[in-house]
Amino acid sequence: MSTISHHAFAAEAASRHSAQTLDHTLRDASPSHVIETALKTVGREQLALVSSFGTESAALLKVMADVDPAIPVIFLDTGWLFEETLAYRDTLTAMLGLRDVRSIKPLEGALSRQDPDRELWFSDPDACCRIRKVEPLARALKPFSAWINGRKRFQGGARAEIPVVEDDGAKLKFNPFANASREEIEAIYKLAKLPPHPLVASGYLSVGCMPCSTRTAPDEDARAGRWRGRSKTECGIHTTKTS
């Protein structure tokens, strides 16, 4: 085993052990306590929160802002987002006093080579997500050793069994809302008077890129409108480990 691969293996093993220990400790913790622990574990310079500024994003951003509004927030501007999402990002950034929101875009070279006609979302949505979300996020997270996201078990599918803390390659991945109920999320919105995403009133319960987001019927899961008609349920940023 080379020195580089040995160090990578050791880092992953340490991350895995640390994640299991933290997950056991935080399995019943409040979202704010999870974020506080993440901050104490790695420090602000090594911690980032990844947000889509989607329909449920404001609750996590509010909890984070109450702990430390200077924690870096990574926003993936894929080039296919609704204008309403970009406006919502700006609204929440100002309202919550977020001090370090970083809008990350896909590499122009990758787009021109792999998606020159902007039709990749239709012919190969996994490849589209890879160049517009997965690669940009991996690039943005390189300086950090841990990150926070807003997945919840009640969202179902691959998210039904997520832990509070998991290892993500050589990084720690914190899921402060893993245990949260839909009612708890709604209570945060109500108490803090958080504005809803502009598209919620139009029937969008989950909002991603324009071509791959549709309205959701009242009896459907919140994410049923994502990649409708396909077996795809995740963009890949939560199924591909970062390093």
Query: Using one digit for the tens of pLDDT, what is the confidence trace for 184-215?
Result: 999 999 999 999 999 999 999 889 999 999 89
Top CATH class of 3-225 equals alpha beta
Residue pair 89/101 in contact by the 8 Å Cβ criterion: yes
Residue 161 confidence (pLDDT) above 90: no
84 annotated binding-site participant: no
Instruction: Please check the confidence at residue 17 and state whether its pLDDT lies above 70.
Output: no
Matching residue, tokens 């989950």? 206
Cα distance between residue 62 and residue 53, in whole Å: 12
pLDDT value for 22: 96
Q: What is the mean pLDDT of residues 216-227?
A: 79
pLDDT of 222 reads: 73
**What residue segments make up the domains of the chain, in order of their start?**
3-225
As annotated, the active-site residues are: 235
In the structure, what pLDDT confidence band is assigned to residue 243 with cuts at 50, 70 and 90? low
Q: What is the mean pLDDT of residues 158-178?
A: 88
If pLDDT is split at 50, 70 and 90, which confidence band does 168 have? confident
pTM: 0.86
pLDDT at 230: 81
What's the whole-number mean pLDDT along residues 129-151? 95
Is 128 a known ligand-binding residue?
Answer: yes
Q: How confident is the model at residue 221 (pLDDT cuts 50, 70, 90)?
A: confident
- Residue 224 confidence (pLDDT) above 90: no
Identify the pLDDT of residue 6. Answer: 46
199 is in an annotated binding site: no
pLDDT exceeds 50 at position 228: yes
Question: Taking residues 90-115, what's their average pLDDT?
Answer: 97
Please provide the DSSP assignment of the chain as one string.
--HHHHHHHHHHHHHHHHHHHHHHHHTT--HHHHHHHHHHHH-GGGEEEE----TTHHHHHHHHHHH-TTS-EEEE--S-B-HHHHHHHHHHHHHHT-S-EEEE---HHHHHHH-TTS-HHHH-HHHHHIIIIIHHHHHHHTT-SEEE----GGG-GGGTT--SEEEETTEEEE-TTTT--HHHHHHHHHHHTPPPPTTGGGT-SS--BGGGB----TTS-GGGGBTTTSS----STTTS---
Specify the range with the lowest mean pLDDT, choosing from 121-130, 141-150, 215-224: 215-224
Looking at per-residue pLDDT, the higher value among 18 and 104 belongs to 104
Residues 6+ apart with CB under 8 A from 175: 34, 148, 149, 150, 151, 152, 162, 163, 164, 165, 166
Strand pairing class (171-174; 165-168) = antiparallel
* Residue 70 annotated as binding site: no
